[in-house]
Each structure stands twice: as C-alpha cells, then as structure tokens.
Amino acid sequence: MSLPHQIGIHTQDFKALEGVNPAFLEKGLWMAREKTIQAYQTITSQLREGMSESEARRLIYTIFSDLGCKKHWHKPHARFGSGTLLSFNEGQETGPSCALDQPAFLDLGPVWFDSDTQLEYEGDFGDTFVLGENSAATHCANACRNLFQEARKLWHKEPMTGYEVYQFLKTRSSELGFILREDVCGHRVGDFPHNRHTKMSLSETKFIPSKSLWVLEVQILDPEKRFGAFFEDIL
C-alpha cells in the first residue's frame, strides 16, 4: 500500500493514522464490503411498514447472525421518514416508524472474519431507499449516491485531502439544491479495531488519504427539511 502524501502542516504522525495489522490485505476489506452490501439487500427486502428503529435493529442483528457475523464495530442504525434528517446516532431509536412512501436509510458496521489472514475486517456501508413511491425522496437518495460517486471519481483523478473532498461535497450539494450535513464526515476503517489508530474524521485529514482505508460518508438534507439521504462506502 502506498503511503499518503502529506499536504500542509499537520501535527500528528499521519502514517500512524493509517496503521493496519502487518497481515492486513486490502482485498480483505473489499470482501467485507461485498458481504455487507449483500446483507444490506437482504435487510431492505425484509423491512416492513410500521417497524420501529429498534425492531429494525433486531432484524439486522438476526440477519447478520444468520450470515455468520455476530460482531459489529458499531451498532447498526436504521432511520425512517423524517428520521433521515438526523445523523445515524442522533436521538437513536426515537425516530418515526418505517412508513410506505417514505425514505429509509441503513448504516451497517459488521466485523467479518477472514480465515486466510486470520484477521477481522470491518464492513461499513450505508444507503438510502424508499419503501414505496416518493419521487422527491428518491431524487434526494439518488443525488446523495451521485455526490459520493462524483467525489470519489474526482479524488481518484486529482488526489485531494479529506478536507478538500468535503469542501467539494459542500459546494456540489448546494449547487444541486441540497444541504450537506457537515458533521457526517467520514472515518477510518480497516482490520478490527481501526480506532486504535485514530478516531480522526476524514474531513479533518490535511493529507491525501490512502485508498481502501477510509470511508466517505455523505448525508444531505432536502431544502425544505422533509427528509434526508445518506450514503457511505470505502474511498
């Protein structure tokens, strides 16, 4: 893995911020991502109208457990309707129930064991969907996903610091008529637990973050604040 290129003045040892176990393999992290996305699809197919956030969380735990995953580096979160305006951990389990024609998002953080490297890899994936039909909420969810893709594409083309990536997202969100939640700002991911290396957010990084070690999170709000959308994946 190539080391990041530091830009500007930063008082912390940026190499330490990107630490991994010596046995860590990048493909282990991508494998964890794939499994998490598959679980996401199973979960969304089983969410039902009227489910509360805590009922959805119990369902999520059951589905992961059935897939052989009993460890989560963060609790799974489900947000429904106007609860999608809130961040994943804001006012947990107090949001509205799952309703037809309303958006919902999931934020999943399972830990998957890889027998080849004997390491546990952190999955982290989140996305928004609409259970039923709501063209404005679907438009917001699509915009959120597209913002992520645009930012990642740009970062691959012209390497930028995490701070610069989020500045770009803020400008683009506003051009598209949405409000970026700036406190939802990305983080490290890796072999479990990544947080022994750092709890710094991606938007705080003043160096170019390495590929496959950071998660880019995007949450935008409808300008009328009826709902929001969330998407996150590995940078």
Amino acid letter, 42: T
In this chain, which of 53, 124, 191, 222 binds Fe ion, going by CB under 5 A?
Answer: 124
Nearer to Fe ion, 43 or 134 (CB): 43
**Number of residues in contact with Fe ion under rule CB under 5 A:** 2
Among residues 184, 209, 189, 210, the alpha carbon closest in space to that of 199 is found at 189
Beta bridge partners of 221: 179, 228
Q: Give the SS3 label for residue 72.
A: strand
Q: Which of residues 4 and 76 has its CB atom nearest to Fe ion in the complex?
A: 76
User: What is the nearest approach in angstroms of Fe ion to the Cβ of residue 135?
Assistant: 27
E runs forming strands in 117-200: 119-122, 125-131, 179-180, 187-188
Nearer to Fe ion, 204 or 232 (CB): 232
Q: Taking the complex as a whole, how short is the minimal distance between the CB of residue 75 and Fe ion, in angstroms?
A: 11
Residues 218/151, Cβ–Cβ less than 8 Å? yes
Q: Which range in 77-85, 89-97, 120-128, 192-200 contacts Fe ion by CB under 5 A?
A: 120-128
CB burial of residue 116 (10 Å; 0-12, 13-18, 19+): exposed
Segment interacting with Fe ion, rule: CB under 5 A, options 15-23, 38-46, 137-145, 224-232: 224-232
The interface region with Fe ion, picked from 17-25, 35-43, 59-67, 123-131 by CB under 5 A, is 123-131
State how far the Cα of 106 lies from the Cα of 125, in Å rounded to an integer.
8
Query: Which residue number, 53 or 232, has a Cβ lying nearer to Fe ion?
Result: 232
Buried b (16+ CB within 10 A) or exposed e, 203-219: bbbbbbbbebbbbbbbb
CA torsion through residues 3, 9, 14, 17, sign = negative
CB of 125 to Fe ion, least distance (A): 8
User: Toward Fe ion, which CB reaches closer, 124 or 164?
Assistant: 124
Burial 117-153 (b: 16+ CB within 10 A, else e): bebbbbbbbbbbbbbeebeebbbbbebbbebbeebbe
Nearer to Fe ion, 134 or 194 (CB): 194
Nearer to Fe ion, 134 or 212 (CB): 212
**Segment near Fe ion (CB under 5 A); pick from 48-56, 93-101, 121-129, 218-226:** 121-129
The nearest distance, CB 2 to Fe ion, in angstroms, is 24
- Judged by CB under 5 A, does residue 127 bind Fe ion? no
Give me the residue label for tokens 């637990």: 193
Q: Which residues bind Fe ion (CB under 5 A)?
A: 124, 232
